[in-house]
Structures are given as structure tokens and as C-alpha cells.
Structure 1
Amino acid sequence: MNTESFDMKAVGPRIRMMMPLLTPLEAKVVDTVFGLRDFNDDTSLKKIAAEAGVSEAMVVKITKKLGFAGYRDFRAAVSQYNSQPTSEMHQELSEDDTSQEIVQKVFRTSIHALEETLAILDMAAFDRAADLIHAGGQRDFYGVGGSAQIARDVSHKFLRIGVRANVFDDSHMMLMSASLLKEGDLAVGFSHSGNTTAVIEAIQLARRNGASTIAITNYGGSALAQAADVVLCSTAQGSPLMGENAAARIAQLNILDAIFVAVAQRDYRAAERNLKQTMSAVSSKRKDRLP
């Protein structure tokens, strides 16, 4: 991993995105490192191996698997990452927290996710995704659970500017939709883990039929990411109570808000015209003034 070429805030997110590629024992070693509050440039390889209950050789092997030249390179990058101002923003919730502390921690976790997602955002992928959505003939969005809600949110935004998209949250409907897509069409898969079978299978089928595919996920090394032409990654640290999904949802919605603006920009006059029409169509349903 060439840590000189990107924002140091991206070190933690890039390591987290590769966690699904690690074995449980390898992941335990990484968790051990990030669990040490005093981890710094002086933390020895021997200490990490002892804390994790593995050999020093295995620790080195894991750092190389994560893309670093070795333990020293890994240690320097993680130490710099830990020294970033945003690194202290993520704090675990506890049963003794006051309401004020709960609000502070939840907000800071979301801000942390936004900062780190911005640091890792692939701008080439962002531009390509905007181009594909703008040019797509048929646009079908796939997601289940909370990811389906994100898909519906962005579909609603696009409809406001005349960009139509269908949302499917049923595995059979996803496959039926994907079977009808062809070259020039677009399928977008939403999955936090990137391991949702129904979404992966639909994206794979759509791609086999010639459609372009986009993955919205928290893990760049996931099965969904590997199945898609374009990958847009969010990143968020997990916590026992909130998990990763809550903060990752905020980050994904912000990515998609930016995509929405970029798509509108590609034909600004049409977007402006359609926005006026759709707003006018629902204006009678608003009660802005009390009698």
C-alpha cells in the first residue's frame, strides 16, 4: 500500500475494507492492533504477536496481505492514521451514557464515517457511475432490508429530475428484472456487507446479459464488488450496539446525493425543467399555511 499517495485518513478504512478477505485468526490480529490505545511507532512486532497469540512471522504475513511492505510500513501507517484528529471521533456507546453523551457519540460516529468515506472515494468510479446512470436506458436498483431503503431514497431523488429507476427488494423480482436487462441498461446493487446473495446473483445475471453494473457497499473486496463494473464504497467503524450500518447508511446517502447532483449536471436544463414539473405536480398536496 503506497501510503504517500492518499489521505492518511484512508488507512483505517482501506484496512477495514479488506477484512472480509482475512481468515478469522488474521482478522483477530488486526483487531488486536486497533484495540491497543497505545499503539505507536515504538510498538514492537513481538508485542503484537504476543497480544494476538500468533507468531511474529504470521503478523508480517498479514501486513503484506493488507498491502503493506511489512510490519514497519504497517506500523508507521496505522500510527499516522491514529494521530489524525478524526480518529478520536468514533467512541463506543455504553449503558452508562447520558442522553448528551449518546447524541454526541452518534453524531461523531456519522461525521467520522463521512470524513473517511470522502478520503477513500474513487473519483474515477464516481464519474463513471454518474455517466452510466445518466445514459442508462432501463435502470434497476436491487437491495434488501436497510439497503432497499437507500435504493428507494435515491430512486425518489432521481425521479424528481426525470431520471426513472425501478427498485426491487424481492429475490425473485430481482432475477426477473435482471433477466430482461440488456446492453445499454443499468443494474445497481446496494448491500452494506457486499455479501447479500440475492443482490449478488441479480447483478451477476444483469452483467451476463450485457447491462452495466454498479455496486454500493462498505467492502471493496466483497463478492458484490467483484461482480460489478463500478464500485462505490462507504466506510464506517462498527460498534456493539449500533453496528456499522447506521453510520455507513449516512455515508452512502451522501455519496448518492453527490451522484444525483452529478447526473443532473450532465443535462442541467432538462433536470431543471423536470424538477419544476415534478414539484408543481405535488404542490397541491402541501399545506404550507395554516388557516
Structure 2
Amino acid sequence: MNSESFDTKAVGPRIRMMMPLLTPLEAKVVDTVFAMRDFSDETSLKQIADDAGVSEAMVVKITKKLGFSGYRDFRTAVSQYNRQPTAEMHQELSVEDTSREIVQKVFRTSINALEETLSILDMVAFDKAADLIHSAKHRDFYGVGGSAQIARDVSHKFLRIGVRASVFDDVHMMLMSAALLTEGDIAIGFSHSGNTTAIIEALQLAKRNGAQTIAVTNYNSSALAQAADVVLCSTAQGSPLMGENAAARIAQLNILDAVFMAVAQRDYESAERNLDRTMSAVKSKRKDRLS
């Protein structure tokens, strides 16, 4: 990534995805930069070093570790990213906020996550994921906590078009499932951090048994991403109160909604036929308003 070839919208997301590779001190320097509201093309290397309490040489080293040619290249990229309209959407919640301000900030954070996730979405990985899900014999989804809810939502969508998937949120059940997967099957691990041990171990076991694996995560450099054949990556800015998970969940649901559509497209007639059947099956359970 350099200032001549980067996608401006993707600068922030790509830097955030590299954060797991940084040491705590290196991450502190990056956080210092993004916390500066007046960071611009005029911000000196010395100012960053002084504010972060590190040497100028360390700042340069960190910018290179993030994929830039040096501090000036990093400064240009981040300055242009900060001038993007979506960058202004992200504002931290405050105890003084009115209800209207709370609603606006929450919505804008989600909109920002969607815009930035779209800017970094790997379309090759997207198509590969759709192909694998469509052609798989068995599809097992792994997730715990909030990630399990995403897995269930995705499984529900696929069932509507006749694409069956099983969801596991228990550590033992995940490993049992992974032990039975073989070639032609697929395992999908959902983890915002990409560091959830239970999901990583299940995906690794499934892969050793010949199954294809997909990771849905916020960090493409995470342990889960490294263990998967295909990575679908969301991105969201963190905040002390909201964290990253809330906005990232919205982004991940949208990625999987798009995957769902792509899978349906691969056999549209069958998807349409199964959708009619499943909708008819539950129609009697709906109390629709009579015309």
C-alpha cells in the first residue's frame, strides 16, 4: 500500500486489520495518530514520536510494517482518508448526548462500517465462498456468543432456498462436527477477533480432514484467517462504549446476505422453487392483515 496506489476509503480499514500484528507499543503509536483530530499533511514525524513517547525511528519502522514506504507516504494516505465523508461519521458516544444524537451516531457508525467493508471486500474470495457453499455436501457453521447469532441468521437464510447448514456453538460439538467433515464438505468459522480458540481449532480439524474452510472475521491477519482457505473480512472502528462488534456485526451480515444472493444465483430456478415451498410451509403461522 502506498500513497499512489491505495484506495482512500480502504486506508483506515487496512491499517486496522494489521493491528493484531503490532506490538502493544506499536499499536499505541497508531492509536495516537488516529486520535489526533488535527492530523494532516503538515503533521511532523517529531510530533507523532513525542506524543506517543517513542523515537522517530520507531514511528518510521511502524509505518513500513503497515505497508507504507515511510512516514511521508503514511501521512499522505491517512490525511486523505481522514478527509473522506465516511471518516467524519464515526463519533464516540457521550453521556451528554441526546436521544437523537445517540441514534445518529449509532447509525453513522454502522454506515461507516458498511462503506469501509465494501471498499476492502475481496471479490475473488467472495466468489470462491459462494462456489464452495453452493457445491458442498455438508455445511457446518461455527460461532460462539454474538458470532453464533450471525451463523444462525445465515443458516436460516440458506434454509429458505434449500441450502442446508448446521450451526454449532458448543466447543465439543464443533470438534465432533469437524471430525466428521471430509472432502467436499465446508466449515465456516465466525469470529470478530479471529482469535477465538474454539473456532480456530474446529476449523483446523475440519481442514485436516479434507474439508474446505471459510473464515468470517474483522482481521485478515488473525489466527482464524490464517487457518482458513477463504477469508471474508469486515471492518469497523472501535470505541470504548460500543466496541467494534456492533458495527462489524452489521457489516458481516451484509457480506453474508450478498453471499446468499450469489449462492441462489448459481441455481436460481431451484432457489426460487425452494423459496416458494418454505414460504408456503410457514404461511399458515402468520397473522397477516386481511384485505
Under a length normalisation based on structure 2, what TM-score does the superposition of the two structures give?
A: 0.99
Residue equivalent to 2:269 = 269
CA contact (8 A) 1:3 1:11 kept: no
The alpha carbon displacement at 1:239 in A equals 1.0
1:227 lines up with 2:221 in the alignment: no
Alignment match, 1:166: 166
Amino acid at match of 1:261: M
In structure 2, distance between residues paired with 1:29 and 1:208: 39
1:132-186: per-residue Cα shift (whole Å, max 9, x none)? 0000111000000000000000000000000000000000000000000001100
- 8 A contact 2:68–2:74 mirrored in 1: yes
Distance 2:21 2:3 in 1: 20
Deviations 1:8-52 (A, max 9, x none): 110000000010110000000000000111111111101100000
Alignment match, 1:183: 183
Distance 1:175 1:37 in 2: 46
Alignment of 1:6-85 (within 5 A): 6-85=6-85
Mark the CA change 1:5 to 1:164 in structure 2 (over 3 Å): closer, same or farther.
Answer: farther
Structure 2 counterpart of 1:152, one-letter code = R
Return the alpha-carbon distance in structure 1 between the equivalents of residues 64 and 150 of structure 2. Answer: 35
Counterpart AA for 2:160: R
Give the secondary structure class of the aligned counterpart of 2:242.
coil
Q: Is the 8 A contact 2:189 2:214 kept in 1?
A: yes
Amino acid corresponding to residue 146 of structure 1 in structure 2: G
Aligned pairs, how many? 291
Quick one: percent identity of the two aligned structures?
85
Tell me how far apart the structure 2 counterparts of residues 134 and 163 of structure 1 sit (CA, whole Å). Answer: 8
> Superposed, which structure 2 residues align to 1:48-127 within 5 Å?
48-127=48-127
Q: Which runs of 4+ in 1 moved over 2 A?
A: 2-7
Q: Which runs of 5+ in 1 are unaligned?
A: none
Q: Deviations over 1:257-290 (max 9, x none)?
A: 0000000000000000000000001111011026
Shift of 1:5: 3.8
* Greater displacement, 95-104 / 281-290: 281-290
TM-score w.r.t. structure 1 length?
0.99
Q: Distance in 1 between matches of 2:143 and 2:12?
A: 27
Q: Does 1:283 align with 2:283?
A: yes
What residue in structure 2 maps to residue 260 of structure 1?
Answer: 260
Following superposition, the deviation at residue 65 of structure 1 comes to: 0.5
Measured in 1, the distance between the counterparts of 2:115 and 2:200 equals 28
Matched, 1:136 2:147: no
Measure, in 1, the Cα distance between the counterparts of 2:125 and 2:169: 25
| 1:144-159 aligned within 5 A | 144-159=144-159
Contact 2:184 2:211 survives alignment (8 Å) = yes
d(CA) in 1 for partners of 2:225, 2:157: 24
TM-fit CA distance, 1:7: 2.4
Q: Which residue number in structure 2 is paired with residue 236 of structure 1?
A: 236
Q: Deviations over 1:169-218 (max 9, x none)?
A: 00000000000000110000000000000000000000011100000000
Q: Supply the RMSD in Å over aligned alpha carbons.
A: 1.0
Which residue does 2:192 correspond to in 1?
Answer: 192
**What does residue 206 of structure 1 align with?**
206
| Preserved contact between residue 234 and residue 252 of structure 2 (Cα < 8 Å) | yes
Query: How many Å separate the matches in 2 of 1:130 and 1:3?
Result: 33
